[in-house]
């Protein structure tokens, strides 16, 4: 079997990526509740190095694959981690894009809409992040499936909330088309973070339980 220390090192690096994403989105949630731009600047600090981190993890995995001959389960795990880091990098990019975009449109969005929909959207996104990260340390099949289903439920919730936000903005806003598009594009970045977590949760199910990638 592949030396445990190498697998633990990869897992710990992936966990750190998760932790940074969770922390950034926790700060974003606080910022949404107060529309405090300084909070968003703090959140950026947690995702600014995500690309560098994922490159380091990928290089470590490639090194392990080149120097050792992993058994089937370990090989599946390492390949899954390669794909997971890609999804986490995308989620970090989505987070950063949301921060940058929201700083430009915060004052254009009705406060009631932020409180009613956008805060709830971020709460569901944050739940997706947290539950998916918990799956890293779960080996029990039943518990793993329950966590996966939680992620699916929260991701579907983000889809519904985005649709509701889009409908409200298009129905009630007096903004011009270009500005409306900018606002909706920014909000979509938040919803896409949850999409990325579905992919990660699928990959975790795949390497831990084997078989096919799960349909949602």
Residue 93 lies in a domain: yes
**Whole-prediction pTM:** 0.90
Which token pair is 96?
A: 């950063």
Q: How far apart are CA 44 and CA 85, in angstroms?
A: 19
Residue 82 lies in a domain: yes
39 pLDDT higher than 90 = no
Which token pair is 159?
A: 């889809």
Q: How far apart are CA 140 and CA 147, in angstroms?
A: 11
Residue 215 lies in a domain: no
> What is the sign of the dihedral through the CA atoms of 148, 150, 156 and 159?
negative
Residue 22 lies in a domain: yes
Which token pair is 100?
A: 């940058």
Residue 65: domain span: 4-209
Which token pair is 61?
A: 């995995």
- 159-212 confidence digits (pLDDT tens): 999 999 999 888 877 778 888 888 899 999 999 999 999 999 999 999 898 765
Q: How far apart are CA 44 and CA 145, in angstroms?
A: 32
pLDDT over 70, % of the chain: 96
Residue 216 lies in a domain: no
Quick one: DSSP state of residue 48? Answer: T
Of these ranges, 3-17, 76-90, 171-185, the one predicted with the greatest mean pLDDT is: 76-90
Residue 39 burial (CB count, 10 A): 18
Specify the number of domains making up the chain: 1
Per-residue pLDDT, 36: 79
Q: If you average pLDDT over residues 128-148, what whole number do you get?
A: 96
CATH number at residue 130: 1.20.58.220
């Amino acid at each position: 079997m592949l030396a445990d220390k190498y697998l633990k090192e990869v897992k710990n690096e992936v966990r750190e990526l998760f932790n940074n994403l969770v922390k950034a989105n926790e700060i974003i949630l606080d910022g949404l509740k107060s529309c405090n731009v300084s909070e968003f600047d703090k959140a950026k600090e947690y995702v600014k190095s995500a690309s560098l981190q994922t490159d380091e993890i990928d290089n470590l995995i490639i090194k392990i694959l080149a120097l050792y001959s992993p058994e089937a389960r370990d090989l599946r795990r390492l390949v899954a981690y390669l794909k997971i880091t890609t999804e986490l990098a995308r989620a970090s990019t989505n987070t950063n894009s949301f921060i940058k975009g929201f700083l430009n449109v915060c004052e254009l969005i009705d406060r009631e809409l932020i409180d009613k929909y956008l805060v709830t959207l971020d709460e569901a996104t944050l739940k997706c992040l947290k539950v998916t990260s918990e799956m890293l340390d779960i080996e029990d099949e039943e518990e793993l499936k329950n966590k996966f289903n939680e992620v699916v439920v929260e991701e579907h919730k983000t889809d519904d909330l985005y649709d509701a936000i889009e409908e409200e903005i298009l129905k009630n806003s007096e903004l011009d088309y270009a500005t409306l598009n900018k606002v909706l594009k920014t909000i979509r970045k938040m919803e896409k973070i949850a999409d990325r977590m579905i992919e990660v949760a699928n990959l975790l199910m795949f390497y831990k339980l084997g078989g096919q990638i799960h349909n949602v």
